[in-house]
Amino acid sequence: MFLLRFLCNLEALLVKQYQKAEVFDLFCMSEIINKYLQYIRLELNLSRHTQVAYGNDLRQWEAFLTQGSTELDVKSVTTSDIRAWMLHLSNEGDGARTLRRKLQAVRALYKWLMINGEVVQNPAAEVEMAHIPKRLPQMVRESSVDTVIDSEIDEEDFDEVRNRLIVMMLYETGMRRDELIGLLDHNVDTAKCELKVHGKRDKDRIIPFGTELAQYIDSYRAFRDKITACGDRFFVRSNGEALYPMLVYRVVKSQLGEAGVTSKRSPHVLRHTFATAMLNNGASLNSVKELLGHESLAMTQIYTHVTFSELKKNYKLAHPRALKKGG
């Protein structure tokens, strides 16, 4: 019995070592990248967009380092090699955000290799991230959105009714465009005045809304169910098919344009406008964070800069001393 257990353990150890040798061929960069992309998809469950971006970035990095060679020992890569790649990308015209993402992709790859004991240091860790100038999120004035919501529409035109609701939902809930497109009918409860959205990183959150929006939702549903079958989709086209991102973008751009908005007009601008309006009207930063589905307060704090900028602008427009020359 002891000998049998010993042989089984030995066999398991040999199989494990063999599998490890298959997983990490440190001279085959393409294989390592493929295994890493499989890891972030299956283990980390990163978004499809992130998977594609990291895959493109890492293969571009591989092409730069190998210069046509079929083999590259990842242990031989140095910090200087990665700095040279960053300089090359910058000279090719890549912006700061793109440079940061590509460097982060390489850092994450080496971090994974370190966790698995294949390398002892991360050569990308010492490379400084490109600096991104701080830009405040763009928004539109609440009065402009009110103009859109309060304007008359043809109540017998399904597209007009739905398009008005799209703007109302984006502005009054702060949800993302993809969350609006993926909204399920059974997750919109007008009795409780709340809805559940499926957000980034496969996380759900509950968002409350007002009675005016609830009434409009009920009217839209009655219209929708009269003209088409929608399955469990909340928003649909008149033929029952799902919305798509460009359609939602065009709806928002058109509706805000009709209200006289000349600045950037997009679904995400309405999300910014929602957050800013909430803070301007007394909501706590943490409440806005939860409503937006942010991971941390740091992501939400950018809106405090927006509200302060608006406050300074209003001061300069209204205070008599500020209106004086040099004030």
Token pair, residue 306, equals 């927006």
The answer to whether residue 200 is catalytic is: yes
Q: Which of 265, 271, 272, 289 is catalytic?
A: 271
Catalytic residue among 36, 171, 220, 303: 303
16 is catalytic: no
186 is an active site residue? no
Question: Of the residues 176, 177, 224, 233, which is catalytic?
Answer: 176
Quick one: CA torsion of 201, 206, 208, 211, rounded to 10 degrees?
A: 110
DSSP 69-129: -S---GGG--HHHHHHHHHHHHHTT--HHHHHHHHHHHHHHHHHHHHTTS-SS-TTTTSPP
Indicate which residue of 101, 111, 205, 294 is catalytic: 294
268 assigned to active site: yes
Alpha-helical (H) ranges within 151-266 are 158-173, 177-181, 211-227, 245-258
Active-site option among 83, 196, 200, 237: 200
- Clarify whether 110 is annotated catalytic: no
Distances (CA, A) of 179 to 42, 201, 212, 268: 22, 12, 21, 12
Angle at 314 between CA 309 and CA 318, to 5 degrees: 155
Catalytic residue selected from 107, 141, 253, 268: 268
Residue 294: active-site member: yes
CA distances from 155 to 159, 225, 237, 305 (A): 10, 15, 16, 40
The residues pairing with 184 across neighbouring beta strands, listed in sequence order, are 233
- The residues carrying an active-site annotation are 176, 200, 268, 271, 294, 303
